[in-house]
Chains A and B, each alone.
Chain A
Amino acid sequence: AQRVTQPEKLLSVFKGAPVELKCNYSYSGSPELFWYVQYSRQRLQLLLRHISRESIKGFTADLNKGETSFHLKKPFAQEEDSAMYYCALRQGSSNTGKLIFGQGTTLQVKP
């Protein structure tokens, strides 16, 4: 069965510190992996996807098929990064588009 696991409910760091939000997945095929973010009083929105291989707002994420992980990283956290982050998986061959989400991690960046 497909599953996405985010082991940390809350991650609290100081401004300027490195951030790593963990995500592990369980899927036997070729998955597409995403990170979605929900800022306070805003809609849930896409942050980045593994196929784009780009950095968004200083965040990067590398798909590690050997470790079945897709951790989200940023070298220097900013206060505006405080938000709820969700890792999500889509079957690579699926045309239903449905995403399976993890439990979410709240990132708190302290001044």
Chain B
Amino acid sequence: SQTIHQWPATLVQPVGSPLSLECTVEGTSNPNLYWYRQAAGRGLQLLFYSVGIGQISSEVPQNLSASRPQDRQFILSSKKLLLSDSGFYLCAWIEKTGAGELFFGEGSRLTVL
């Protein structure tokens, strides 16, 4: 069966520090991968998606970047965190056709102080 893992689950970082959130998927090949941010009052905002290794599409301009170094690995990064980067980050995957259900990870809560 397919599973998706995210880590760390919680993170408290000072302003200006770097960030790396990691997501891996097991039990499937060549999935489409996504990073969403869940913020109060703003719902779920799509940040990045990837349809293959090294292929990243950004949905909103921001202080963050994403990378997909391996087929089932998706990383969310920042060189210098801002206060506004605080939030709950969700990784998700879907089968290659893009149809069907989107499966979410458990999320990573980032607090920038």
Residues of A within 8 A of B (CB): 6, 9, 36, 43-46, 49, 86, 88, 90, 94-104
Answer whether residue B82 sits at the interface, using C-beta atoms and an 8 A cutoff: no
Shortest beta-carbon distance from A42 to chain B in Å: 9
Give the complex CA separation of A101 and B97 in angstroms: 20
| Given contact pairs A43-B104, A96-B98, A98-B34, A86 touches B46 in the complex (Cβ within 8 A) | no
Partner pick for B104 among A45, A95, A100, CB 8 A cutoff: A45
The interface size of chain B toward A, counting residues with CB under 8 Å, comes to 26
CB contacts between A and B, total, < 8 Å: 57
Interface residues of B (CB under 8 A from A): 32, 34, 36, 41-46, 49, 51, 57, 59, 90, 94-95, 97-102, 104-107
Chain A nearest CB, measured from B109 CB (Å): 13
Q: Is the CB of B44 within 8 A of A97?
A: no
In the assembled complex, the Cα of A97 lies from the Cα of B49 at a distance in Å of 9
Determine whether the beta carbon of B43 is less than 8 Å from that of A97: no
Contact B102 A46 (CB under 8 A): yes
Cβ distance B82 to chain A, nearest Cβ, rounded Å? 22
